[in-house]
Amino acid sequence: MITASKLLLKPFGLAVTTALSLTAGFLSACTPVATAPEALALTPQPPFLIIAHRGASGYRPEHTLAAYQLAIDQGADFIEPDLVPTRDGHLIARHENALAVVELTKAGELPSNGSWVVRSATTDVAERAEFAHLLTVREIDGRRVGGWFSEDFTLAQIKTLRARERIPTLRPANTNYLDESIPSLQDVLALTRQPGNRRIGLYPELKHPTHFRYGRRAGEHSLLNIDTAQLLVDALQGSDFAQRLFIQCFEVETLRRLRHQLLPKAQLTGVEVKLVQLFGPMHVPPADVAYHQHAATFAQVYGPLAEPLSQTPSYAGLADVLPIIAADYANGVGPRKGDAKRLAKTSRALNLELHPYTVRAEAFFLSPLRGALADSVAGELAALQQLGATGVFIDQPDLAVSWRAAAARQTAPAPSVDRQDQ
């Protein structure tokens, strides 16, 4: 059993205590499993894409320029920045808009004694007294969350923060990188154009777009009204970015708007843009579907998907209508590893990309209890390729690069021999 690291913080005094509980087997669970890539290797049908999940996040704190650069150096085909907005309309790379999350009371409120237990953090914001006043509670996709949120900070304020390893007990080496800043989308684009870097694809994810368009700050009646899809298109349009581009999202409305409204108006010369519908747990509704479910505009928002989604408002409902998704807006699908089999056959028939998530090398993640398909990275990659995956999200892209190369060597045709020379 692993007890997550917790920080007990008091405002302005910022007294910090750390509690870690490790079982006897924990250290081995933190260690990446270095199975030889030749083991269980099957032949990836080209192109089998290696998508560096949040950068090379197994080796550097996720969503930092260091993580993205290492992924480029290790040979990944794509780097994946998750995107959330700032208060002044910039996109930054963070897994969530919550820069640090604190425990709430049973009533869903902040503790009245002014002491906060930090459950998780990807920045040092909880240690910064100057931002204590921005601690708040927000409802995001129907769930109350306490913490500090990107949409309450300007980009200038974000730039004063430093990244922190999200899962320090599993990746203790990443805690040594304490001076990594929080990159904006423009910083990431600049990295891809940096002299000396090879050509790299970009695979951004738009996080919680329904929340940012229709959500509210505590005590405010006006909407946040932050259109992250438009911000992304504007940023790409205003740059000389000329690489391959996938845009992914868990929400249907955003992808449909991109396909039918925003991208046709954009001038992204020389960029091949593909849209990927991500799938959460099959029984759960996409956040946008839950938000619009009883609205009079439901049919207008979802077009040909309105009827099936009204009958089965969940990811399972989406999985049952892949032909409509493919015809309407999507070039690919991104399911959880355990759900890849459900989508594989239809995806192949529709020529949809199939990019399951997420392969991680630590033994903790290579467990059936965590949805693992095998007990090694090579085994998981082989299993996913056998199902028909055309790419994979992985935290340690170098392992996938090695596996792909080994598979290619195994299946390379033998040199032909001219019989006259024998």
DSSP string, 135-156: -EEEEETTEEEEEEEGGGS-HH
220, amino acid identity = E
Stretch 279-305: mean pLDDT, rounded? 97
Where residue 81 sits, what CATH number does that domain have?
Answer: 3.20.20.190
- Residue 2 falls inside a structural domain: no
Identify whether the C-beta of residue 74 lies closer than 8 Å to the C-beta of residue 401: yes
Residue 150 lies in a domain: no
Contact in structure between 279 and 251 (CB atoms under 8 Å): no
State residue 2's pLDDT score.
36
In a domain, 24, yes or no: no
Sign of CA dihedral 124, 127, 130, 136: positive
CB within 8 Å of 263: residues ≥ 6 apart: 233, 273
For residue 248, give its domain range: 33-94+183-411
pLDDT at 192: 92
With contact defined as beta carbons under 8 Å apart, do 204 and 249 qualify?
A: no
Residue 242 pLDDT class (50, 70, 90 cuts): low
Structure confidence by residue, pLDDT tens digits, 332-372:
999 999 999 999 999 999 999 999 999 999 999 999 989 99
> Does residue 349 fall inside a structural domain?
yes
Contact 68, 79 (CB under 8 A): yes
Question: Rounded to 5, what percent of the chain is helix, strand, coil?
Answer: 35, 20, 45
Number of domains in the chain: 1
* 301, part of any domain: yes
Predicted local distance difference test score (pLDDT) of residue 268:
81
Q: Which of 343, 346, 357, 159 shows the shortest CA–CA distance to 246?
A: 357
Tell me: the pLDDT tens digits for 131-189? 999 999 999 999 999 999 999 999 999 999 999 999 999 999 999 999 999 999 999 99
On whether residue 25 sits in a domain, the answer given is no
Q: Given the DSSP bridges, would you call strands 116-121 and 3-9 parallel, antiparallel or unpaired?
A: antiparallel
Residue 101, Ramachandran bin (φ over 0: left; ψ between -120 and 50: alpha; else beta): beta
Whole-angstrom distance, CA of residue 401 vs CA of residue 298 = 43
Q: Is residue 7 part of a domain?
A: no
- Residue owning tokens 């996109």: 91
Q: What is the mean pLDDT of residues 3-28?
A: 38
Is the pLDDT reported for residue 11 higher than 70? no
- Residue predicted with more confidence, 16 or 85: 85
Asked if residue 215 has pLDDT above 80, the reply is yes
- Chain Cα centroid distance, residue 237: 22
pLDDT attached to residue 25: 43
In Å, how far from its chain's centre is CA 19? 28
Q: How many CB atoms are closer than 10 A to CB 368?
A: 10
Give the mean model confidence (pLDDT) for residues 311-330: 98
Which pLDDT belongs to residue 69? 98
Asked if the structure places residue 154 within a domain, the reply is no
Q: What does the mean pLDDT of the chain come to?
A: 88
Task: Please tell me the least confidently modeled range out of 213-222, 337-346, 389-398.
Answer: 213-222
Q: Are 123 and 164 in contact (CB under 8 A)?
A: yes
Given a cut of 50, is residue 87 above it in pLDDT?
yes
Neighbours of 206 (CB within 10 A): 24
- Cis omega (within 30 of 0) on the bond before 47? yes
pLDDT reported for residue 244: 86
